[in-house]
Amino acid sequence: MEIIFIALKDSLALTLKLLCIILPLSISYEFLKHRQSSIEKKNFAVFGISGKGFIPLVTGIIIGLTYGAGVIIYSLRTTNTTKKEAFLILLFLSICHAIIEDTLIFVVIGANGFILIGFRFALAITLTYLLYRSRLFNAQFNGFPRKDGRIEQ
């Protein structure tokens, strides 16, 4: 019986610590939503991801897939991003998402935050770039180039 009480107390203490992280974050998400339209207008492209694709990307990196799902699905569907771009975005996000929240809640229980962020960003960027460059991946969407240089659909 005693164990239950101790566990209850400890788990509530842990929840309280996490609450201190989640509250400021959830409030800043709401502010971020207002800023989104200004990011949309910037025009740039990094490894196959265009300015349009940047909103779902940034949303995913900061907020995460579960809570950012609405924005990600909506913007991928409405701004006719190509299938190839969507795949690259999702690949990047699958490795590197909810970067603030995930990192902070693990830092609370004793992990090293710099290693976490650094490693995930490095891995995500490397993989996305390699896939963007790979011929096999591009062939999936464009068809294999033939001997005479024309592209087979």
Partner 1 sequence: MLVQNTLLHMNTFYSTVKRGFLNGILITYKMVKVIVPCYIAIEFIKHLGLIEVISAFFKPCMSIFGLPGESALGLMAGYFINLYAAIAVITPLQLSSKDMTTIALMLGIAHSLPIETGVTRQTGVNAWLMLAARVVFSLFAGIVINLVWKLFS
31 near partner 1, judged by CB under 8 A:
yes
12 near partner 1, judged by CB under 8 A:
yes
Q: 48-55 contacts: CB < 8 A, separation 24 or more?
A: 48/84, 48/85, 48/88, 48/128, 48/132, 49/85, 49/88, 49/89, 49/92, 49/128, 50/81, 50/85, 52/79, 52/81, 53/79, 53/81, 53/85, 53/86, 53/88, 53/89
| Among 61, 92, 103, 128, contact with partner 1 (rule: CB under 8 A) | 103
62 near partner 1, judged by CB under 8 A:
no
125 near partner 1, judged by CB under 8 A:
no
| Among 37, 38, 43, 109, contact with partner 1 (rule: CB under 8 A) | 109
The torsion defined by the Cα of 99, 102, 107 and 108, in degrees rounded to 10, comes to 140
Which residue's CB is nearer to partner 1, number 3 or number 136? 3
Which residue's CB is nearer to partner 1, number 10 or number 145? 10
55 near partner 1, judged by CB under 8 A:
no
Size of the site for partner 1 (CB under 8 A): 52
